[in-house]
Structure 1
Amino acid sequence: MTSVTSRRLRPRALLACGAGLAVTAALTLTGAAGAQAGPAAGSTTVTPAGHSFAATLNGKATFKAGSVTATCTASSSQPSADPASNRIPDAPDNHNPSGPVSSSINPPTYSGCTASIAGVTTTVTTSGTWRVSMQYGSPISATLSIPVGGFVLESKGLANCTITAAPDAPADIVATYTNGAPSTLTVANATVPVKVTGGFGCPTSAKSSVFNAVYDITDTTDPASQITVSD
């Protein structure tokens, strides 16, 4: 497993996370049975095509499950030897005329983590293949997809707890992307399904966690360029 950390991952240079971290994506609207389908997604272009990107935590990332809140002060998703990860697709695949642009990202790493429970140490690990999808709009939407069991938070000490995100199926973290210098990926009160195990002091009844974080998305191929999402 990789120590944990991605909406603009797809943009010019992208996002990642988590643990993040890393880090996001376009939303596909699915109507309930019998409901009328929503409007078709518009076009999306992420530039610069073929450039690699990094997502670096700006501030703190927090994860709240039940009465327990974990806070991490460092998180990032960085390019690696795998040329397919943390990379905007080459042209023309960096443009989608009717939907989001997606790419795989390395699991975000997380460090400097503490918990609201006194007397415990906290670690976050991530694993598997993560993805980020960007959809142009107002605002620009991003979706960070976590694989099954791809994020695990553990506390040890007075309370020995394990919080596993996406325990049974892949899960999406919905975020917004803002073009800029650098561009940012903002996760605000995103809900992610979790499974909590452990003894006294562990929020074992919690079925979801609330995630908050802001990531700077930078172009690692050309630091003078910005990762940008447009139509």
Structure 2
Amino acid sequence: MSVPRPRSRTRSFAALAAAGVLALSWGGSAQAAAGSTTVEPAGDGFTATLDGGAVFDAGGVVVTCDVSVTAPGNGNNLVPEAPGNHNPGGAVTGPINAPTFQNCSTNIVLVSASVQVVDPVWDITIQHGSPSLATMVIPAGGIVVTTRGLASCTAVVSPDATAHVQGNWSNGNPASTLDFDTSVPVDVDGGFGCPTSASHASFDATYKVTNADNPSSPITVTS
């Protein structure tokens, strides 16, 4: 499945991720102001690793990636230092390295797939609640999914506007969990077998989030 090129830059359908997989950036919130949020341990780096498969489905063309991860580097994937790790009136936000997507396949015989993340840095916003919510903020056209073979298509995730991919956060030890079961706008281009009429693609994935600096101290979200 190959998705159309965005107006200005090439973006990939797979770049969704995510969780989204996760654009874990600590900074501006995409969610409405709510109760207080605290992310701990302050200042520690975190890694989010796919648990199972990341599944993109646009019009019945399904792309599944078995490997996806985002890890600390270049000053990203860090819980804000105190007091920035606590927001008495809403979410905590910060930048993360965009997750990679590898070992991808499709539900169509003789059709291969790849997912490209165009923008290297995403943002993530976390809001404590019942459940706690984590929103990955993906730049416009930031993910491009391409298929080749009997169906050669290109899918660009949210080519014209920033995408907000929301998932549920659950505290755990040693790993917390981030679950995505959502959809995003998508623009699909291609010939025979391509779902060119699809306007949205579903995204399902579960990530395990661990403390890269101190594995015995889990990354947690509280009030």
Normalising by the smaller structure, the TM-score range is 0.7 to 0.9
Give the conservation status (yes or no) of the 8 Å contact 1:20–1:108: yes
The answer to whether the 8 Å contact 1:187/1:211 transfers is yes
After TM superposition, give the deviation of residue 127 of structure 1 in Å. Answer: 2.4
Letter in 1 for 2:95: S
Render the CA deviation track for 1:77-115: whole Å, top value 9, x for unaligned.
1111x11x1111110000001110011111110111111
Which ranges of structure 2 fall in alignment gaps of 5 or more residues? 1-9
State the distance in 2 between where 1:17 and 1:209 align. 11
Give the corresponding residue for 2:49: 56
Moved segments of 4+, more than 4 Å: 1-5, 23-27
Name the residue aligned to 2:4: none
Q: What's the secondary structure of 2:93's corresponding residue?
A: strand
Counterpart for residue 100 of structure 1: 91
Q: How does 1:193-212 map to 2 (within 5 A)?
A: 193-212=185-204
The TM-score normalised by the length of structure 2 is 0.87
Matches within 5 A, 1:149-168: 149-168=141-160
Amino acid of the structure 2 residue aligned with 1:106: N
Q: CA deviation at 1:24?
A: 5.7
Give the Å deviation of 1:22: 3.6
Match of 1:28 in 2: 31
- Corresponding residue for residue 142 of structure 1: 134
Residues 131-172 of structure 1, C-alpha deviation per residue, up to 9 Å, x if partnerless? 111000111111111111111100011111001101100011
Determine the structure 2 residue equivalent to 1:225: 217
Task: State which drifts further: 155-164 or 20-29.
Answer: 20-29
Q: Aligned equivalents of 1:123 and 1:94: distance in 2?
A: 36
Letter of the 1:69 counterpart = V
The answer to whether the aligner puts 1:18 opposite 2:11 as a matched pair is no
- Which amino acid letter does the alignment assign opposite residue 203 of structure 1? P
Deviations 1:54-75 (A, max 9, x none): 1000011100000211111110
The amino acid that maps onto 2:200 is: S
Q: Percent identity?
A: 45
TM-score where L is the length of structure 1? 0.84
Give, in whole Å, the separation in 1 of the partners of 2:48 and 2:77.
9
**Amino acid of the residue matched to residue 138 of structure 2?**
I
| Match 2:123 to one of 120, 131, 138 | 131
Go from structure 1 to structure 2 and tell me whether the alpha carbon gap of 1:2 and 1:163 turns closer, same or farther (over 3 Å shift).
closer
Distance, in Å, in 1 between the alignment partners of 2:139 and 2:93 is 15
For the 8 Å contact 1:2–1:109, the answer to whether it is kept is no
